[in-house]
Amino acid sequence: SLDDESAASAHFVGEEEDLDCDCTHVIERGRLNWIVDALDGTATYTKGLNSFAISIALLDEMNQPLFGLIHLPGIFGRTYLVSAHGGELARYDANQAAGELQLTPIQTPLPAPDAWKRPGTPLSRSYLYANSNVHRLGLERFQGKIRNHGSTAAHLAMLCDGLEDPAAVLLTRCHVWDVAAGLALADAAGLEIRRKDSWQRLDYRTALESYIGPARRPPQIVGHPEVLAAMRPA
């Protein structure tokens, strides 16, 4: 819960700037920040495909997540939630026949994917979910499958749901509203966030603050620690 004064002074961050409503592209330091992407995957949505997402995060004055939400109305009819400051991760499943929502806690930290527990699982069985410029990133040595569903938030939500096959999400050409909620979910799920170039592990705040300002940021990769360790040579 927030007191009235804090809630009234919160700043909004999003793709659509509106100075009259205190909404800009940039996180305001020392304030509460709502980071909203009302439709992540606009091109996907306009083409009639269903892998788009709604992404909302609330950061405290130190840029730590108070709340994170990704809603996937088209893919699964699911909403993924994370509670304050790296708390419990849960998923709402829409039961459209009954018109009800069912809350399902997600095991945290996430265990290694089922397929990864079987000896001899080849790296070619793994998945890398990436943005549209992945063909320019020099991943020729990666033997697995590369997928792009058109929504970074959807990629991160699916990863935090616990996939059977080993998978990771590569973040490139992203804005803060694309990743704020998804990285909060990943952090709550016990997944790792690393720089692709140096493989340095990043905490949530450091990863998110790299999106503040116009500087070019190196790609980041998100996934289960065991999966990332196996993928690193590729």
Taking alpha carbons only, the member of 181, 180, 205, 201 closest to residue 192 is 201
pTM flag (> 0.75): yes
Cα angle, residue 159 at apex, residues 157 and 162 outer, rounded to 5°:
110
Residue 16 has pLDDT above 80, yes or no: yes
> For all residues of the chain together, what is the average pLDDT?
85
Mean pLDDT of 64-90: 82
Which range, 1-5, 84-88, 194-198, is most confident? 194-198
Q: What pLDDT does 164 receive?
A: 79
- Helix/strand/coil for 74: coil
- Under 8 Å between Cβ of 221 and 168: yes
Mean pLDDT of 180-190: 93
DSSP letter, residue 219: -
Mean pLDDT of 214-229: 86
**pLDDT tens digits, 122-173:** 777 889 999 888 777 778 788 888 899 999 999 999 999 887 788 999 999 8
What are 118's two structure tokens?
């079987």
Rg (CA), the chain: 17
Helices (H), the chain: 4-8, 42-46, 152-160, 176-188, 204-209, 225-231
Residue 86 has pLDDT above 80, yes or no: no
Q: What pLDDT does 39 receive?
A: 94
Q: What pLDDT does 119 receive?
A: 66
Taking alpha carbons only, the member of 2, 58, 80 closest to residue 180 is 58
Beta bridge partners of 54: 71
Q: What pLDDT does 81 receive?
A: 87
Percentage of the chain modeled with pLDDT above 90: 37
Residue 100 has pLDDT above 80, yes or no: no
Q: Give exposure, 48-70, as e/b (b: 16+ Cβ within 10 Å).
A: eebbbbbbbbbbbeebbbbbbbb
Interhelix angle 176-188/152-160, nearest 10 degrees: 0
Residue 36 has pLDDT above 80, yes or no: yes
Residue 113 has pLDDT above 90, yes or no: no
Q: What pLDDT does 125 receive?
A: 81
